[in-house]
């Protein structure tokens, strides 16, 4: 009789995107998960969810991606989802200063999160619209370094800086911070060159919720 082996659990990481309405949270997610971009604005209602499997140094990890709504009326829902997040990503639009000024409100709302236990990321989106820029790169960098956040400016439209942000900066910190969830000795981790292969065989699951 063949012995049934228990299915191996792969480490799961929960990412949540926060930021003002129209800053491009959903577009960033779509660019990352499906490598596509939609010019038409469709406001997120409540919350959307997607997932994606990637490999870090040959270890599968499962990313649970929560896309929140920037509209004020949905704001009260957010603490329910930030509570057990591993990675929190704040998004502003480099062509709208107001969206950058509001990042501190989004940050201050995280009253139920133990900041030292999570990876924080600040993203300035829409760098393809550089001629309409209202927020300097240095302002973003300064805020991020004060709050100990990863920082990158990107364009969800062109995909500019996506590999650098996700595949290097974020995944490298996942490997460092949540080492016990990944296999390897301390030396391996320190010397680890992050090799990321998108799992082409894994069909990206897309599920909408709360609509
Ligand atoms: N030019 C340009 N437009 C972008 C970029 N990213 C998003 N957009 C546009 O900005 C608008 C808003 O994008 P969304 O991703 O829906 O914004 P959101 O932050 O999810 O908004 P809410 O769901 O309402 O919170 C859409 O019309 C997008 O096409 C970008 O990098 N460059
Ligand atoms: Mg959205």
Ligand 1 centre and the CA of 181: distance in Å? 33
**Ligand 1 atom, smallest distance to 129 CA:** 1
Domain ranges of the chain: 12-200
Q: Is 22 exposed, middle or buried (0-12, 13-18, 19+ CB in 10 A)?
A: middle
Q: What is the pTM of this model?
A: 0.86
Say yes or no: CB of residue 175 within 6 Å of ligand 1: no
Strands (E), 57-158: 59-68, 87-93, 119-125, 150-153
The CATH architecture one would assign to domain 12-200 is 3-Layer(aba) Sandwich (3.40)
Instruction: Show pLDDT as tens, one digit a residue, over the chain (211 residues).
Output: 566 665 667 888 999 999 999 999 999 999 999 999 999 999 999 999 999 998 887 778 889 999 999 999 999 989 988 988 999 999 999 999 999 999 999 999 999 999 998 999 999 999 999 999 999 999 999 999 999 999 999 999 999 999 999 988 998 888 888 765 554 443 343 333 444 444 444 444 444 444 3
């Amino acid at each position: 009789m063949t012995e049934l082996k228990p299915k191996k659990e792969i480490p799961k990481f929960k990412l949540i995107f926060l930021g003002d309405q129209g800053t491009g949270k959903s577009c960033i997610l779509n660019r990352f998960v499906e490598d596509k971009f939609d010019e038409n604005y469709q406001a997120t209602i409540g919350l959307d969810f997607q997932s994606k499997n990637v490999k870090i140094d040959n270890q599968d990890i499962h990313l649970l991606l929560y896309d929140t709504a920037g509209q004020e009326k949905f704001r009260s829902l957010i603490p329910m989802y930030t509570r057990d997040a591993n990675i929190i990503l704040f998004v502003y639009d480099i062509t709208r200063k107001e969206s950058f000024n509001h990042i501190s409100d989004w940050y201050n709302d995280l009253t139920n999160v133990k900041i030292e236990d999570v990876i924080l990321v600040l993203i300035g989106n829409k760098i393809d619209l550089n001629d309409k820029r209202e927020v300097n790169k240095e302002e973003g960098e300064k805020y991020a370094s004060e709050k100990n956040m990863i920082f990158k400016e990107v364009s969800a439209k062109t995909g500019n800086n996506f590999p650098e942000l996700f595949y290097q900066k974020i995944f490298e910190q996942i490997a460092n911070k949540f080492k016990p969830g990944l296999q390897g000795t301390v030396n391996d981790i320190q010397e680890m060159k992050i090799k990321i292969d998108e799992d082409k065989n894994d069909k990206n699951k897309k599920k909408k919720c709360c609509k």
